[in-house]
């Protein structure tokens, strides 16, 4: 090689070295810019990954909360009734669909926002390549193969990283979308199944209840209707009854009912039981005879020896005769104390109605004369005593009266005036006590025990043919003349006399 050639080669090498240095000088800012771009890309990729993970976690949490809320609400509410379960089915199905659609829409919006943010990063390699190419063109010398290889390798890695990031984002979005959709579908299937179970259970329960109790319900309805109807009838009856009693109370309060004569004057003219209010005494329940001689009689004793009426024993103690005993509708004694109270508030007439047994066919002819003396109608015989009075217990309920009146031919109280009342356990005289024991009942016996006591036990009489006949004796009548019914009753003398005047007029 000639010296000139060596000088030319040395100059070329020097120029190449100078170009290389200048290229290196020119490439240093490029490398710095490239490194800055790569740092920016890596920072953006980290941000995108963080946001993607946040969106995924938030979406899963929202969906889980939605499903939990749906299950909880469904379990608490759906068992109420069939209609409510059906409404909740539609509401929650719409609510779940709307919420799931909202989550997916927000996720898609967030992903679109990330893609917009990634778009500059995707274009960075192309910009970097153009920047490098322009730098090489502006340079007056070529870059060596090592520097060129270094830049392109870095660029390829960035492009690969960006492509991989984009692919992973798309796969993760698709996976998340499918997961959300599957979760929503599974939740909806579970909700629908629970709703169906609740509907079926409610429907079966209602059907079973109706089928089991339909007959009972019908019977209960009929029973209730019957009871209500009877209740109304009873209420109507009680209303009328109480109104009637109220009217009686008003009458009693306004008329001062001292005896049955006052009751009769008040307009109550039907024989029966009434309450009277004797002067200076408590009320007394009595039987009023409103049919005999113009009505207004207060019955103080009844004996009924007929077979179709219940009979009671009159062989009682002093205390029982004091306060009374028996049944006002059948046989009874009103009570010596009540008789004393009544007969001391006014002057009274005592009437004794008697009914004898009919003459028997087997009765001998000589005994029939007695019935002839009694008269034809033996059921209407009576005896009366004016100014009848019973003294207090202190005087042993002494009997007082003025004179005998009436149509009965015999005076059964003859000689009994001023007689004391006697029972088997109470007698001022031992002989009188003996009479009460023999006769079997309390009475004003006087000096003779026989044929005079209307409270004595029924007498027995046997006919010639051996048949038995029983009854009560009165006065001087024969043994076979037996009473089957007797009533003692009193009325004020003034009322009795007024009724006699009305008959005369």
Closest Cα to residue 307, out of 478, 469, 477, 473? 469
Clarify whether residues 266 and 129 are in a common domain: no
Residue 23: what pLDDT? 46
User: pLDDT of 91-130, one tens digit each?
Assistant: 445 554 555 556 556 666 665 665 565 555 555 555 555 5
Closest Cα to residue 354, out of 299, 300, 304, 415? 304
Residue 12: what pLDDT? 58
Count of Cβ atoms closer than 10 Å to residue 394 Cβ = 7
Structural domain includes residue 449: yes
Clarify whether residues 412 and 300 are in a common domain: yes
The confidence band for 5, taking pLDDT boundaries of 50, 70 and 90, is low
User: pLDDT of 291-341, one tens digit each?
Assistant: 999 999 999 999 987 766 668 999 999 999 999 999 999 999 999 999 999
Q: Which residue pairs from 51-58 have beta carbons closer than 8 angstroms and sit at least 24 positions apart in sequence?
A: 51/110, 51/114, 52/114, 52/169, 52/172, 55/107, 55/110, 55/111, 56/172, 56/176
The confidence band for 498, taking pLDDT boundaries of 50, 70 and 90, is confident
Structure tokens at 408: 């009965």
Structural domain containing residue 96 = 9-70+90-138+145-196
pLDDT at 460 over 60: yes
Closest Cα to residue 392, out of 337, 448, 346? 337
Q: Is pLDDT larger for residue 420 or for residue 412?
A: 420
334-357 burial, b at 16+ Cβ within 10 Å, e below that, comes to bbbbbbbbbbbebebbbbbbbbbb
Instruction: Give the DSSP letter of residue 35.
Output: H
Question: Who contacts 317 (Cβ-Cβ below 8 Å, separation ≥6)?
Answer: 423, 424, 425, 426
pLDDT at 140 over 50: no
CATH number at residue 268: 3.90.215.10
| Axis crossing angle, helix 82-138 with helix 145-255, rounded to the nearest 10 | 160
Count of Cβ atoms closer than 10 Å to residue 258 Cβ = 20
CATH number at residue 98: 1.20.58
Domain end among 181, 196, 211: 196
Structure tokens at 290: 């409103």
Percent of the residues in the chain that have a pLDDT greater than 90, as a whole number: 24
pLDDT at 462 over 90: no
How many domains are there within the chain?
Answer: 2
Structural domain includes residue 216: no
- The rounded distance, in Å, linking the Cα atoms of 339 and 438 is 25
Question: Who contacts 62 (Cβ-Cβ below 8 Å, separation ≥6)?
Answer: 99, 103
Structural domain includes residue 243: no
Residue 256: what pLDDT? 77
424 phi/psi in degrees, rounded to 5: -65, -25
Mean pLDDT on 142-167: 62
Could you tell me the sign of the dihedral formed by the alpha carbons of 156, 160, 161, 166, in that order? Answer: positive
Contact 439, 446 (CB under 8 A): no
Structural domain includes residue 224: no
Structural domain includes residue 97: yes
Clarify whether residues 292 and 441 are in a common domain: yes
Mean pLDDT on 462-490: 71
Clarify whether residues 164 and 299 are in a common domain: no
Range in 90-104, 241-255, 259-273, 437-451 with the lowest mean pLDDT: 90-104
Structural domain includes residue 236: no
């Amino acid at each position: 090689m000639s010296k000139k050639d060596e000088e030319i080669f040395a100059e070329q090498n020097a120029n190449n070295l100078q170009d290389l240095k200048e290229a290196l000088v020119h490439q240093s800012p490029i490398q710095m810019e490239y490194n800055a771009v790569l740092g920016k890309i890596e920072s953006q990729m980290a941000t995108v990954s963080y946001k993607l993970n946040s969106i995924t976690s938030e979406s899963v949490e929202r969906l889980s909360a939605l499903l939990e809320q749906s299950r909880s609400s469904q379990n608490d509410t759906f068992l109420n009734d069939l209609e409510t379960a059906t409404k909740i089915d539609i509401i929650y199905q719409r609510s779940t669909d709307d919420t799931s659609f909202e989550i997916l829409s927000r996720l898609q919006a967030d992903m679109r926002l990330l893609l917009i943010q990634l778009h500059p990063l995707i274009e960075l390699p192309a910009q970097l390549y153009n920047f490098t190419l322009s730098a090489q063109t502006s340079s007056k010398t070529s870059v060596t193969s090592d520097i060129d290889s270094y830049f392109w390798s870095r660029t390829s890695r960035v492009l690969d990283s960006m492509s991989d990031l984009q692919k992973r984002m798309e796969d993760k979005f698709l996976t998340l979308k499918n997961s959300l959709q599957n979760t929503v579908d599974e939740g909806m299937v579970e909700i629908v199944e629970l709703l169906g179970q609740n509907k079926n259970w409610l429907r079966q329960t209602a059907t079973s209840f109706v089928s089991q109790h339909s007959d009972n319900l019908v019977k209960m309805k009929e029973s209730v209707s019957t009871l209500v109807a009877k209740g109304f009838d009873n209420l109507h009856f009680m209303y009328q009854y109480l109104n009637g009693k109220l009217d009686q109370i008003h009458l009693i309060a306004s008329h001062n009912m001292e005896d049955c004569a006052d009751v009769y004057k008040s307009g109550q003219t039907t024989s029966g039981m009434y309450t009277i209010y004797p002067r200076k005494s408590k009320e007394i329940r009595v039987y009023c005879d409103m049919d005999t001689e113009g009505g207004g009689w207060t019955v103080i004793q009844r004996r009924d020896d007929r077979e179709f009426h219940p009979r009671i024993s009159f062989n009682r103690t002093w205390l029982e005769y004091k306060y009374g005993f028996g049944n006002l509708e059948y046989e009874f004694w009103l009570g010596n104390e009540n008789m004393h109270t009544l007969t001391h508030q006014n002057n009274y007439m005592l009437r004794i109605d008697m009914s004898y047994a009919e003459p028997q066919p087997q009765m001998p002819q000589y005994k029939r004369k007695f019935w002839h003396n009694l008269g034809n109608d033996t059921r209407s015989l009576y005896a009366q005593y004016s100014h009848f009075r019973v003294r207090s217990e202190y005087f042993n309920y002494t009997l007082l009266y003025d004179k005998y009146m009436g149509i009965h031919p015999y005076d059964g109280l003859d000689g009994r005036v001023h007689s004391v009342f006697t029972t088997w356990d109470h007698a001022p005289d031992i002989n009188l006590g003996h009479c009460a024991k023999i006769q079997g009942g309390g009475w004003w016996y006087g000096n003779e025990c026989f044929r005079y006591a209307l409270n004595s036990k029924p007498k027995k009489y046997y006919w010639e043919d051996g048949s038995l006949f029983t009854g009560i004796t009165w006065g001087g009548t024969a043994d076979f003349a037996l009473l089957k019914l007797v009533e003692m009753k009193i009325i004020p003398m003034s009322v009795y006399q007024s009724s006699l005047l009305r008959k005369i007029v």
